Amino acid sequence: MYNLTIVFDEDGNTAALAFLDSTNITENVVVRATGMPSAEDDMLLTSVSIDLVPQVCAGDPVTVFGYLVDILCWELENHIAVDGADLLNSPEDHTVHCMRDIQACRDSGFGILVRQADGTFDLEYAFDDVGNAAALALIDETGLVANVTVTVTAELTGELVTTNNVAELTSVSIRLHETISHTGFLVDILCWEL
């Protein structure tokens, strides 16, 4: 059971909205709110700053859809891959040749890029050694040239890795997708489940 312990003044609400707009985390968002208690109400914080408190729970299951990427290319300046692909905006252009045949890319490990609310992509998860082996097996066998879309099913290791401090996955299973298209009605889950 959770209780409301503090509320923010207008500036604190603005800081909270700015934080939410800046993060790609959509569940279990734990934050540290720092501020001064109001003289009128000890539940009201003023001069608020908000920082993310990473919550990575080992063993938590994860299923995610996105683009396979090597870590070396992702960490290059402006996320422009060795093959010239703009991974932030067009990860579908990242080639299998780059991930498979360039030894530094192959050796750097792999992860999955996921579309963010603003339409760009971000490294959502990185793989452990077992996951990296699964990624290598996939790219070694595929006939694709680029556009390596996958569904990854895995568990969180409890570690934050790479220079971005993304969550690491273990027990990774990767399923390759061909690009698909579906036409239908868009509905929000709340209305669907009523």
Task: List, in sequence order, every residue forming a beta bridge with 46; answer none if it has no partner.
Answer: 36
The helix (H) or strand (E) run that includes residue 176 is strand 166-177
Report how far residue 109's alpha carbon sits from residue 86's, in angstroms, rounded to the nearest whole number. Answer: 19
* 76 and 82 Cβ atoms separated by less than 8 Å: yes
Report how far residue 157's alpha carbon sits from residue 164's, in angstroms, rounded to the nearest whole number. Answer: 16
Which residue from 99, 122, 98 is spatially nearest to 110, judged by alpha carbons?
A: 99
Q: Is the pLDDT of residue 68 over 70?
A: yes
pTM to 2 decimal places: 0.62
How far is residue 150 from each of residues 29, 38, 47, measured CA to CA in Å? Answer: 25, 50, 44
Average pLDDT over residues 124-131: 87
pLDDT band, residue 64 (cuts 50/70/90): confident
Of 24-33, 64-73, 109-118, 142-151, the poorest mean pLDDT is in 24-33
Encode pLDDT of 112-124 as tens digits. Answer: 998 887 889 989 8
Backbone torsions φ then ψ of 42, nearest 5 degrees: -70, -10
Q: Is the pLDDT of residue 184 over 70?
A: no
